[in-house]
Amino acid sequence: MIEFPNHSRSYDRTRHAVRFWGHDSAIEASFFIDEGALRRLQPDAHPDESGLLNAFDSNRDRICAAAAKVYVRGSRGSYDLVAANF
């Protein structure tokens, strides 16, 4: 089962997404939530790094729940969340 004990996150300018990590026992998986998904969750979010990180922080529980739904153990190293996941 994937868990999200690490509250670290960062903005990836190349992918226009916020990156965060989940852990399934000793396995670490990277997740990316794109700007479109963040703006669906928080339409009034500022479209800059600070605004998108704040949108992530304000919606962390919903984002982690969606990430857990797309996660498949050992399937791949990273997972992308888009607006359709919400």
Rounded to whole angstroms, the Cα distance separating 46 from 67 reads 23
The pLDDT assigned to 75 comes to 73
Sign of CA dihedral 49, 55, 60, 65: negative
Report residue 66 as tokens.
Answer: 């969606």
**Residue-wise pLDDT tens digits, 36-78:** 999 999 999 999 999 999 999 999 999 999 999 999 876 778 9
Domains along the chain? 9-85 (3.30.160.140)
Asked whether the beta carbons of 53 and 9 are under 8 A apart, the reply is yes
